[in-house]
């Protein structure tokens, strides 16, 4: 007699069918159905440093503000990959350059929320509900999208990859969830043990200096632990970049086998780089490399469905222009959004660049926001599914189209 586990495995593998847990409503078997295309949203939880992704290497203040974490200009060792003569792509994202060259990858620089919050959780809620007063939101914007699009009656139409249902998918529409397996870490302390030993030996024989040194070490350890806790919590339990490649391969294959999947949400943690951020090498570089490899694996595993797919990558806010005393960056404002897929008019950095001179910075310290993230979402969703501005306002109440994003995505 065949076991229940063996039977389930055969059902999953046979004929492109998918068996997925549907939150609280148990298991459902879905057969592939046609779709109007696919939208995949990736949220980089923790506020990634967008200036280390799409870098304005022509800006003098970029290099003046980042003595140890700036990325060298194109043509130099470990230098940026030139995009348009002003912006360069992080060299650890080289796997994505073919998509830039075939014009299915674009970026929107200086985009983000007009909110002044520097709270990860509040900013993420704003981005997931597309409402500045997210506490009053009754649903996430992707759940709202599922409600206004024609229903295909497929149980795999909207998929969340994660162990809990994120705010972006909360609402009246029933969303299926695929639990995560591996969780990546958010980094380790950059304290140098050899330096600690040297200072301990230097001050150990002097009672007064030794006491002061021990107090300083204790205060530093407390501060570093607080930073590590914040960096860990900023991800809301999202898997790290280590798990993203495998997860992306899975998503690509599932959509290729089941074209009824219209919406997918994924999140990735580990981007809160207060300590030891690095430049072209280091913790941020390593994570970006894995994220880029994952996005490329997603594109490849989608196969022909890549032409019908748009992938939107966002983060809740950017980071300070200047590096901090821990060779990292702190919570900022403006950031960069990524848009890729067969319906994207790519090979271009969209958005109005505000500049990095001191008098051009938001609150004197951050990249200014010149493109509201809600305009980015609206341009992507409207172009992907052919929605009118009036329809978009049903899921983004304060949506206002941006002329600078015209034609970013079109079916």
pLDDT mean across residues, the chain: 85
Residue 76 shares a structural domain with residue 47: yes
How sure is the predictor about 201, in pLDDT bands with cuts at 50, 70 and 90? low
Q: Is the pLDDT of residue 263 over 50?
A: yes
Q: Is the pLDDT of residue 187 over 50?
A: no
Buried b (16+ CB within 10 A) or exposed e, 285-314: bbbbbbbbbbbbbbbebbeebbebbbbbbb
Q: 37-51, 106-120, 184-198, 389-403: lowest mean pLDDT where?
A: 184-198
pTM exceeds 0.75 for this model: yes
Q: Is the pLDDT of residue 25 over 60?
A: no
The pLDDT of residue 241 is: 87
Percentage of the chain lying above the pLDDT 70 cut? 78
Q: For residue 11, is it within any domain?
A: no
Q: How far is CA 94 from the centre of its chain?
A: 17
Residue 162 shares a structural domain with residue 195: no
- How far, in Å, are 5, 188, 189, 203, 210 from residue 222 at the CA level? 49, 14, 12, 21, 18
Residue 242 shares a structural domain with residue 291: yes
Residue 212 shares a structural domain with residue 316: no
Residue 130 shares a structural domain with residue 277: yes
Strands 54-56 and 87-89: antiparallel
87: β partners = 56
**Residue 348: which H helix or E strand, with range?**
strand 348-350
Residue-wise pLDDT for 267-281, tens only, equals: 999 999 999 999 999
Domain that holds residue 394: 18-185+237-405
d(CA 74, CA 83): 10
d(CA 93, CA 50): 13
Q: How far is CA 105 from the centre of its chain?
A: 15
Q: What is the CATH number of the domain that holds 241?
A: 3.40.720
d(CA 43, CA 172): 22
The pLDDT of residue 22 is: 36
DSSP per residue, 61-108:
HHHHH-TTTPPPPTTSTTPPEESSSSEEE-GGGGGGHHHHHTT-EEEE
Q: Which residue has the higher pLDDT, 203 or 387?
A: 387
Q: Is the pLDDT of residue 325 over 90?
A: yes
Q: How many structural domains are present in the chain?
A: 2
Q: For residue 150, is it within any domain?
A: yes
d(CA 221, CA 277): 18
Percentage of the chain lying above the pLDDT 90 cut? 73
Residue 195 shares a structural domain with residue 94: no
């Amino acid at each position: 007699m065949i076991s229940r586990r063996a039977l389930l495995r055969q059902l999953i593998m046979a004929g492109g069918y998918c068996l997925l847990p549907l939150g609280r409503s148990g298991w459902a078997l879905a057969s592939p159905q046609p779709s109007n295309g696919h939208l995949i949203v990736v949220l980089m939880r923790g506020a990634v440093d967008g200036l280390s992704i799409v870098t304005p290497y022509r800006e003098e203040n970029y290099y003046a503000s980042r003595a140890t974490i700036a990325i060298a200009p194109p043509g130099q060792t470990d230098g940026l990959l030139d995009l348009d003569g002003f912006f360069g792509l992080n060299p650890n994202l080289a796997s994505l350059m073919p998509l830039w060259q075939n014009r299915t990858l674009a970026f929107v620089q200086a985009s983000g929320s007009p909110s002044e919050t520097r709270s990860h959780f509040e900013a993420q809620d704003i981005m997931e509900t597309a409402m500045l007063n997210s506490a009053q939101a009754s649903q996430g914007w992707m759940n709202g999208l599922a409600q206004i699009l024609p229903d295909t009656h497929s149980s795999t139409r909207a998929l969340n990859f994660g162990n809990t249902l994120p705010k972006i998918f909360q609402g009246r529409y029933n969303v299926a969830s695929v639990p995560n397996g591996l969780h990546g870490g958010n980094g380790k302390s950059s304290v140098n043990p050899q330096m600690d030993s040297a200072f301990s030996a230097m001050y150990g024989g002097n009672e007064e200096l030794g006491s002061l040194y021990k107090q300083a070490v204790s205060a530093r350890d407390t501060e570093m632990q607080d930073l590590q806790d914040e960096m860990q919590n900023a991800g809301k339990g999202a898997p790290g970049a280590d798990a993203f490649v495998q997860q992306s391969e899975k998503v690509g294959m599932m959509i290729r086998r089941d074209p009824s999947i219209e919406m997918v949400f994924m999140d990735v943690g580990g981007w809160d780089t207060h300590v030891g951020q690095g430049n072209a090498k280091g913790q941020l570089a390593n994570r970006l490399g894995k994220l880029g490899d994952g996005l490329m694996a997603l594109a490849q595993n989608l196969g022909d469905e890549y032409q019908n797919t748009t992938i939107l990558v966002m983060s809740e806010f950017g980071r300070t222009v200047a590096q901090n005393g821990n060779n990292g960056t702190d919570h900022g404002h403006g950031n960069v959004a990524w848009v890729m897929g067969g319906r994207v008019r790519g090979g271009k950095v969209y958005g109005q660049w505000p500049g990095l001179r001191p008098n051009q910075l938001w609150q004197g310290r951050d990249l200014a926001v010149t493109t509201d993230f809600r305009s980015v979402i609206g341009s992507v969703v409207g172009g992907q599914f052919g929605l009118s501005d009036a329809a978009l306002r049903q899921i983004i109440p304060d949506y206002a189209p941006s002329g600078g994003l015209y034609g970013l995505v079109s079916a």
